[in-house]
Chain A
Amino acid sequence: MNSLTTKQKILEASIRLFNWNDVANVRLQQIADETGISVGNLAYHFKNKEAIVNAVYENLFEEFSLILSAYLLSPKLSDFDVQMEQYHRFFAKYKFYLIDLFEIERSYPHIMRRWQDSVSKMMMQIRKRLDYYLQRGMLLPEPAPGVYDSLANTIWMTIVFWVPQQVLKEKPIEEVYFKQSVWSHIRPYFTPKGLDEFTHDVHPITQF
């Protein structure tokens, strides 16, 4: 039990260091110092840095799968709002993923493949969600072919890149601003029915 806790502590410390310095620049000594254990003890739990990186990404994918599994748990618009909340928490926790994208591609191709797989699922979910809201009469009919494909892509980009661009601008990465950014893409396409549900269910939470 104690071993598990130490492992978890190591992973948490690694995520913090990866966020500050990116994966390539973090050494085992730093991880051990951040965890408050010796390098020998660290080596007992993870034989090398690659094992730590793999474990961190394993956790990352597990958390991401949990978010993906929260697709349409309820038919309301607020369902997307709840999923957005989870996306925000995820991307704020794993800020290093973007900075390290090219490093990961080069050094850990199997991780990159899983990333691409997860990301394509996320993209597909957003697109299907738009179809679903359209079917429910919450969204206006597509003004021209491909508009909702572009909208899905824009929403996806906002969800994935919102946190890094805020960090770049040295702006707060609070959840409410994140949600506002995503909803602002969808809002112009709401029907009166959609707008009504949005105003009643989502608006009070996102405080537009």
Chain B
Amino acid sequence: MKRVFTMSTDLYSRMLDGLSNLFFTEKLGVDADMNFYRNDFWLSDSAVIESLQLRKGAWEINLLFAHHKTPLKFLSRRITSHSCPKRARTMAFYMRRQAAKDQRGTLTLDLNDLNLTLN
């Protein structure tokens, strides 16, 4: 005779509680939930530099975005990786040009904007 799956009373009770709670915890999303996506818009107004790092035998291309007015607002994103360093450099160059608002790279950061204290 095939073995019957059984569940203890306590566990079954907790499972039913969980099912009931689903309708209270899983609610429809609100507009503000998508803010994380909209907040990415500042990336289009940023200075971009590329960074190449050898990781696990492949050259990883990272792009560093920094806001041109408030440089402390910055973000590093891994884009892709390539096994050949020369190709990775070329790819990183074009990636940076695609990502940067100012493709010629004239958008620069002012060191004073960083408000660094040297003591």
Residues of A at the B interface (CB closer than 8 Å) are: 54, 71-72, 75, 114, 117, 120-121, 124-125, 128, 131-132, 135-136
CB distance from B87 to the nearest CB of A (A): 54
**B19 on the A face (CB < 8 A):** yes
Q: For B4, list chain A residues within 8 Å (CB).
A: 114
Contact B19 A72 (CB under 8 A): yes
Residue pairs across A and B with Cβ atoms less than 8 A apart, 15 shown, are A71-B16, A71-B19, A72-B19, A72-B20, A72-B22, A72-B23, A120-B9, A124-B9, A124-B16, A125-B16, A131-B20, A132-B20, A132-B23, A135-B24, A136-B23
**B6 on the A face (CB < 8 A):** yes
CB distance from A78 to the nearest CB of B (A): 14
In B10-36, which residues have CB < 8 Å from any A CB?
12-13, 16-17, 19-20, 22-24
Q: For B22, list chain A residues within 8 Å (CB).
A: 72
Contact A75 B19 (CB under 8 A): no
Q: For B84, list chain A residues within 8 Å (CB).
A: none
Contact B20 A135 (CB under 8 A): yes
How many angstroms between the C-alpha atoms of A148 and B13 in the bound complex? 16
Contact A124 B13 (CB under 8 A): yes
**B116 on the A face (CB < 8 A):** no
Q: Which single residue of chain B is at the shortest CB-CB distance from A74?
A: B23
Q: Which single residue of chain A is at the shortest CB-CB distance from B17?
A: A128
How many angstroms between the C-alpha atoms of A72 and B24 in the bound complex? 12
Q: For A121, list chain B residues within 8 Å (CB).
A: 12
How many angstroms between the C-alpha atoms of A125 and B6 in the bound complex? 16
How many angstroms between the C-alpha atoms of A88 and B87 in the bound complex? 70
| Interface contacts beyond A54-B1, A128-B16: sample of 8 additional A-B pairs, CB < 8 Å, sorted by A | A71-B16, A72-B20, A72-B23, A124-B12, A124-B16, A132-B20, A135-B20, A136-B23
Q: For A75, list chain B residues within 8 Å (CB).
A: 23
How many angstroms between the C-alpha atoms of A125 and B9 in the bound complex? 11
How many angstroms between the C-alpha atoms of A136 and B24 in the bound complex? 9
How many angstroms between the C-alpha atoms of A131 and B24 in the bound complex? 13
Q: For A71, list chain B residues within 8 Å (CB).
A: 16, 19
The 6 A-B pairs of least Cβ separation, nearest first, read A132-B20, A75-B23, A128-B16, A72-B19, A124-B13, A128-B20
B13: contacting residue among A54, A128, A132, CB under 8 A: A128
Q: For B13, list chain A residues within 8 Å (CB).
A: 124, 128
In B53-99, which residues have CB < 8 Å from any A CB?
none
Q: Which single residue of chain A is at the shortest CB-CB distance from B19?
A: A72
Q: For A136, list chain B residues within 8 Å (CB).
A: 23
How many angstroms between the C-alpha atoms of A114 and B16 in the bound complex? 19
How many angstroms between the C-alpha atoms of A121 and B12 in the bound complex? 8
Q: For B9, list chain A residues within 8 Å (CB).
A: 120, 124
CB distance from B6 to the nearest CB of A (A): 7
**B6, B16, B19, B24, most chain A CB atoms within 10 A:** B16
CB distance from B23 to the nearest CB of A (A): 4
CB distance from A149 to the nearest CB of B (A): 14
Q: For B19, list chain A residues within 8 Å (CB).
A: 71-72
Q: For A128, list chain B residues within 8 Å (CB).
A: 13, 16-17, 20
